Every structure is written in C-alpha cells, then in structure tokens.
A and B are shown apart, each in its own frame.
Chain A
Amino acid sequence: MNPENNKLSEIMSSALEETFEEMAFLEVCRVQVPDDPPDEGGLLRVSLLVHDPFPGELCLAAPRSLVTEMARILFSTEGESIPDETLLDLQAELLNTIAGRVMREITPEEATFRLGLPETGAQSLSDSNCEAIKCHFSVDEEIVSMTVSGDALLARAETC
C-alpha cells in the first residue's frame, strides 16, 4: 500500500508531530523512505494492539540516542546514564498517546475504541507478511518510523 497519499498516513503524521512537540518540544518532519536506513540494532521498538473496533497494530521505532535525548529533556537529567527500562517506558507512552490520537480520528463518534498495552520486544505484525503502512519522520536529525498494520484498521482508514 502506498503511504504517500493515504489518509491514514496523514492522520499518523499529524498525531506523531503533535505528540513529539507537546511531550518533548521536538519538531517533527515527515520524510520519504531514507536512503540510508538507520541501523536496526540501534533502534528501540514498541508496539501496541488495537482490539476494537478495527483490530490492528501500531509500532514505533526510534533510535536509542533520540529516546535518550528525549528522556533527558523530560526527566531533566544530565550526564547520568538512563536505564533501558526508562527509555522503553517513555517510548511506550509516546506510542500510547499517538495511538489514542489516531484512533480518535478514525473511530465514529458514537463508538468506543479499545487499545492494548504497549509491548516491547514482542514480535510485531508488521514483521510478518500482512499489509502495512510505514511512514518515516525526521526528529532532531534522526529517523523515526511508525508502522500501522492489520486489514480492518487499514480498511477503515481508507474510508474515514
């Protein structure tokens, strides 16, 4: 599925931009697929399932260095090393907020939606062969990517 002109990718971009700016005062800019993809080993990944009304999954991947920088801004810490647990907790909270914004946009007003809890290190649907939309963003000169997968979620986004 082409993410460029897709309604869901617009909603995703807007949710990610607002969340990063409001929580960490960082500007976000949507970019094309990077020529030089970030090293997978340096990425922290968090995923979250959408249970109802359109089952699917959202996944956020960000460089460890960027999440560390955000944690320093949020927790006002300098110099000290920040444990992985704290970094993943921060990233999970970012994804949770982004997911809520995305789902508010695509869920009919009279309906309720139900999100799972953010998970780290779990096998993601976006790693399988199912259809997905992946968008890339430049944040503080680093590349963050967000993937949405799941037939029902993608189909809803096409029609909302």
Chain B
Amino acid sequence: MKRILIVDDSNTARMVVRRCLEIAGFGDATFLEAENGKDALTILKQEPADLVVTDLNMPVMDGETFLRWLKGSPKTHDIPVVMISSAGNAAKEKQVLAMGALAVLGKPVSPGILKESIGGLAGMEEHWGSALCAGDEKEESR
C-alpha cells in the first residue's frame, strides 16, 4: 500500500488533490494530510511517504522551505515531491525544480496532469504500474 502526503492549508485544495489522485488511479493509496510544511515534516518523522504533493503558498512553513528541509534530510531526500501552486510562474518553477521538485503544477490540478507528472518519475511505472493502468480505465470511462 503506497502512502501519499498532501500538504495544503486549504481543506478544499487537499480534497481536490485527493480526488484527482483517486481518479488518476491512486485510489488504493493511503492518504496523509497536513496543513503546512511544519506539520508535514512532523508526519514524515513518524510515517514514511512514497510521494508528497504540496502547495507552495502556506502559512507557518511554505512549500519552498518544506522542500528545502525535505531534500536536506537523508531520510526524506528521495521522496518525490510535486508542487502545486496558484503563484507559480516560469521563474519560480525553475527555482523549485532546481531544488529537487519533480514537477510544478498550476491550480486547479486535473487527474490527467497529476498522473502525467507522477508517471514520468523513473521507477514509478513499476512502483505504481497497476494504479496507473487502473487510472487510464477510470479516465476513459468518465
């Protein structure tokens, strides 16, 4: 069972991301949620995650600082991180990609775009193979 951590200060945004992931074929994953980067780091200390999907603009600890902490720790360095933001533009996108983010997506996200960004991760096809195929079927039947 894969574990996905969704980080956003908005309950609505977390729900939208979760629903997109479910439609994209990750419905059998265990979803963890945090309201900001600090809470997310606390969760990751206790429970590992296979993927993190995080907002950029959050109170307490924003997505960029969270990403820096995550990539700076040997324990969490390898966790793929997808950033989602309303405040992303080319310059910001380049910056967080250089810091190690897998992808930067604009809001609102869609199941197809999320799947595309996660599916592009090396080894993810093997990791999530059945989920990605199931996602294709679900998307086709929508």
Chain A contacts to B: CB under 8 angstroms? 19, 22-23, 74-75, 86, 89-90, 92-93, 96-97, 99-101, 103-104, 107, 109-115, 117
Contact = CB atoms under 8 A, between A and B. Distances in A.
Contacts of B65: none
B86 A99 contact: yes
Nearest to A75: B15
Given A100-B86, A103-B87, A117 B59 contact: yes
Interface in B62-94: 85-92
Contacts of B12: 74, 86, 89-90, 92-93
A101 B107 CA distance: 9
Interface of B: 9-13, 15-16, 57-59, 85-92, 95, 106-108, 110
B11 A100 contact: no
Contacts of A100: 85-88, 106-107
Contact of B90 (A23, A90, A109): A109
A103 B107 CA distance: 13
Nearest to B90: A109
B96 to A, nearest CB: 11
Given A22-B110, A96-B107, A97-B107, A113 B11 contact: no
Given A86-B12, A93-B12, A103-B87, 11 more contacts: A93-B10, A96-B107, A99-B87, A100-B87, A100-B107, A101-B106, A107-B89, A111-B91, A115-B57, A117-B57, A117-B59
Contact of B87 (A75, A89, A115): A115
9 contacts: A86-B11, A92-B12, A100-B106, A104-B106, A107-B89, A109-B90, A110-B90, A110-B91, A114-B87
